[in-house]
Chain A
Amino acid sequence: MSKPAGSRRAPIGRRDFLKYSAAGMAGAAALGRVRAGLAAGRPIEFSIWSAAVDTVKSHLTAFEAKTGLSVNLSTAPWAQYRETLVTKFVGGAPLDTLWVSDSWLPEWAEAGWLSPVGDFPQLTAYNSDVDDFCVKSMTYNGQQYGITYYSDWMGFLYNEEMLSKAGITTPPESWDQVTEQALKIRQAGLAEYPVLLSFAQETWLIEFISAMVFSQGGRLVDDKNVAVMADPEHGAVKALRWAVDAVQKHKIVSPACVETGELAGLKAFGSGQFAFGLIPKYRLRTLNDPAQSQIPGKAKLMLMPRGDKGAHATVGWMRFYGLTSQARKDKARSAAAVQLMEWFGGKADGDYRFQKLLFLDVGAAFGVKSLFQDPEMRKAYQAFGDVDLIAKQQALAMKKDVVAPWFGEWNDLNGAAWQAAVVGKSTPEEALKRSADKWTELKKNA
C-alpha cells in the first residue's frame, strides 16, 4: 500500500522482515566465527600500572619473540589502578596476569579474583632466593599468590654534611639518640626542624607508621589478626609517643608533617633542610643524584633507629605478578600466563633480566637475595649507597601486619588517629585505642 510522500513511512512487510532477519542471523554467525578465531589465538591479557612502561614493553617484545605468544598490555595510573582493576574484575573483562600490591591481596583473594600459584613449581622455585618478607607479602591464608615484581622498604636517611657540621661523627643508634642529635643540630642553627616525617593522609602513611612501630620491636596487629596497637607493650604507643614529643615537646619535627606527603618530603630532604628523614630506600638514588638533588653524595642510609625492645627492623612492601582465577580455569591460558610471570618475575634465559633492567633503568629495588652478589648490581648500588648495609637492612624488613580484607577502611581512620595525636587533638593512647577499636569492629563485621 502506498502512502503520500512525507506523511508516514511504509511499514516493513512480511517479506522484508524475513529478508532482514536472515541477513541479521548470517551476520551474527559470521561474528561468532570471528570471535572463535580470536579466542584460538588469544593474546595473554597483562595489566600493569604506569611505571617503567618502556622497560616492560622491551622485555615483552623479547618474550613474544622467544615464545611466539602474543601479549596484550594494558596500563592504568597507580592512583586509579586498584579501582580500575576491581571494576574490570567485576565486569568480567579478560585478565590473565597483572601487577598486584601486597595491600590488595586479601581483598582480591577473598573476592576470588586471584588464584594461588602454589602448584606451579616454576614460580615457587624462586622462593628460596627471595627475601622472607617478600614471600610472606605474597601469601594469604597460607597460599602463595604470585612471584616478585619489585619490593622495597622504609629507610632512615641522614645528611652526612649536616651531622658533620654539628660535630656528630656517628649516626644515631636509637630513637633517643635521634632526639639528642636533632636537638644538637637545632641548637647549632643548622636546621629549624632536623627530622623529616611525612605524615600526610596518603597511601604511604601506613608504611611510615609501620616502620616506626616495627623499629620499636612492636606490632600493630598480631599473627591472629588481633589489634595490639593500643597495648603499651607492643611498640605502637612508644612510636606514636616519640612522634608526638618530637613535634610538640622537642620541636625537632615540623607540625607541618601532617600535610607533608612522601613526594613533598623527598623534595624537602633533597633541598638540604633536614638532618634525618624516614624515606623509602629507593629514593636514595634520587637524593644522591646531582641532577635531582641539592645534597648529592651526602644522603646516607643508616639502620633504622631502635627502641628499647627494637632491633633496627623496618617495614617492607611488595608488588608482585598475580594470576587471575579466570586464567586459571583454562589450562592453556594459565600455562601461557605463568610463562609470562616467570619471564618477568623469575629468570629469563637463565638470568634475572627484568629485575636487573628495572633496577638499572629506574632504580626499582629487588627482593632477590642473590642479586646483591651480582657485580653489575653491586657497582650500580655502590654509586649511591652502601650495598652491604642495604642488604643488612633489607634482611630486617618485615611485611605489613595490617594487610587484611578490611585494610582500606581501617587505614583511613588509623591515619587520621595518628594525625590527631600529632596535632594534639588526642593523646597517643586515645588515638591508638580508637584505631584498635575500629580494627576489631571491621574484623567482626567482615
Chain B
Amino acid sequence: MTEDRIGRSGFWFLASGFRYDTRTAWLFLSPVMAVLGAVTVFPILYSLYISFFSLKLTRPQRVPFVGLDNYLQVVQDDVFWDAVARTALFTVVSVTAVALIALLIALLLDQSFRGRRLLGALLLVPWAIPSVANGLMWKWIYDSHYGALNGLLLQLGAIAHYLPWLGDPHKTLLLIANAFVWKEVPLAAILILVTMKAIPADLYRAATVDGANKLQRFLHITLPSLRPGLMLVVVYVAMVAIRQFDLIFLLTEGGPAQASQVMAWQIYVETFRNLSFGTGAALSYILALATFALAYFIIRTLGQRL
C-alpha cells in the first residue's frame, strides 16, 4: 500500500494491513475525534434532525414530525424577512465601515513616524476587550439618562437636551453597528497591515521611476496586492456580523419596536424564550446557509475583482 493511497482512503486502510505509524496516529487522534464527534458533529446533525419536528420544550408530550413545515413557516413569516433585511443592512454597513477604516489605519501604520509602535499597541485595546464588556460600555455611552455621548454633545453645544439614542428606531441599528465596528477594526487593520508589509518595495521604486504618483501607486500596486488580506477581512467580518447577537442582547434586546431584531436575535427568542426548538433549529440552518452563501459569493465575486 502506498502513502498516496493511505492519504486518500482512511477507512480502507483501517480494514487492511496498514502501517504501524499510521495506525498509531489514528489511535492518538481517536479520543479527540470522539470528543469532537460528541460535542460538535452530533449536535449539528441532531439539530438538523429536530428541525423536522414540531419540538416545543413546554409541550413534551406532542412532538410530531412535520417535515419541512418549520422551514416553510419561517419563510412565510413577515417578521423573518424584516429580520433578514435588518441583518443584511447591519452586515453591509459593518463590513464596509470595518474594511475602509482598517485600510486607512493600516496605511497610517505603514508609514514611519514617531509613536507608531505605541499607536499600534493602543489600537489593539478594543479588540482585547471582551464582547460583553464592550456591549456594557456602549450601553453606558448611549444611555439616554446619563450616557457619555449625550454628556459630550451637550457640553459641546451640539444638542440642547439629552437624546434617546437607542430608543430611536431609525438610529438603533446603526448605533449597534458603530459599536461592532469599534471592536472589529483593530484585528482587521492588523491583517491588512501584515499584507501591506509583504508588498515588495521594488514595485514602488519601479513605479516611481516610471512617474506614478502616490494615488496611482496606491491604486495599481497597494490595492491589488492587498487582495488576500482584504478578502480575509471581508469574509471574517461578514461572517461575524451576520451572526451578531451579543451587542443586540446587551443594548436593545431586539427593540425598540423590533428595530434591531436581526436573525440571530430571532433565533434566540424562538429557541430560548419561546422554547420552540424545531423552528429555532430551522432558523439556525437558514442562517448557516445564508452565511455560507455570503462567504461563497464574496470569494467568487469580490475575490476575482480585487
Enumerate chain A interface residues (CB-CB to B < 8 A). Answer: 83, 86-87, 89-90, 107-108, 110-112, 192, 200-202, 254-260, 264, 267-268, 273, 405, 408-409, 412, 415-417, 419-420, 422-423, 425
Contacts and interface: CB of A to CB of B under 8 A. Distances in A.
B168 interface: yes
* Residue with the highest number of chain A CB atoms closer than 10 Å, among B253, B256, B272: B256
Given A200-B255, A419-B255, A256 B144 contact: yes
B168 A201 contact: no
B211 interface: no
A107 to B, nearest CB: 5
Nearest to A200: B255
Contact of B144 (A254, A416, A420, A423): A254
13 contacts: A86-B58, A110-B59, A111-B60, A201-B253, A257-B167, A258-B167, A259-B167, A260-B167, A412-B273, A416-B255, A419-B256, A419-B257, A420-B257
Interface string B42-61: 00000000000000011111
B57 A90 contact: yes
Given A86-B58, A416-B254, A416-B255, 15 more contacts: A86-B275, A89-B60, A90-B60, A111-B60, A200-B255, A201-B252, A202-B253, A254-B144, A258-B256, A259-B167, A259-B252, A415-B255, A419-B255, A419-B256, A423-B256
Dominant SS at the B interface? loop
B166 to A, nearest CB: 5
A256 B58 contact: no
A423 B169 contact: yes
A295 to B, nearest CB: 15
B145 A258 contact: no
B167 A423 contact: yes
Contacts of A425: 169, 257
Contacts of A108: 58
Contacts of B167: 255-260, 423
Contacts of A419: 255-257
Contact of A259 (B144, B261, B269, B275): B144
A441 B59 CA distance: 18
B164 interface: yes
Nearest to A409: B274
Contacts of A202: 253
Nearest to A104: B58
Contacts of A417: 257
B257 A256 contact: no
Contacts of A422: 256-257
Nearest to A265: B145
A421 to B, nearest CB: 8
A410 B141 CA distance: 32
A432 B246 CA distance: 30
Given A83-B272, A268-B145, A273-B145, A254 B253 contact: no
B25 to A, nearest CB: 16
Contacts of A201: 252-256
A259 B257 contact: no
B291 interface: no
Contacts, number: 89
A267 B140 CA distance: 14
Nearest to B272: A83
Contacts of B162: 256
A16 B161 CA distance: 84
B258 interface: yes
A272 to B, nearest CB: 12
B273 A112 contact: no
Contact of A83 (B59, B254, B275): B275
Contacts of A258: 164, 167, 255-257
B164 A256 contact: yes
A273 B161 CA distance: 14
A254 B161 CA distance: 11
Interface in B250-306: 252-258, 261, 269, 272-275
Going nearest first, the 5 A-B pairs with the smallest beta carbon separation are A256-B164, A256-B144, A258-B256, A420-B257, A259-B167
B236 to A, nearest CB: 31
Nearest to B144: A256
Contacts of A254: 144, 164
* Residue with the highest number of chain B CB atoms closer than 10 Å, among A110, A192, A420: A420
A86 B57 CA distance: 7
B253 to A, nearest CB: 5
Nearest to A416: B258
B164 A259 contact: yes
B272 A259 contact: no
* Residue with the highest number of chain B CB atoms closer than 10 Å, among A90, A259, A409: A259
Contacts of A259: 144, 164, 166-167, 252, 255-256
Contacts of B59: 110-111
Nearest to B164: A256
Nearest to A7: B20
Interface string B115-149: 00000000000000000000000000001110000
Contacts of B57: 86-87, 90
A408 B60 contact: no
Nearest to B274: A409
Nearest to A89: B60
Contacts of A192: 161
Contacts of A83: 272, 275
B265 to A, nearest CB: 11
Contact of A423 (B60, B161, B257): B257
Interface in B163-185: 163-164, 166-169
A419 to B, nearest CB: 4
A423 B168 contact: yes
Given A107-B58, A254-B164, A408 B274 contact: yes
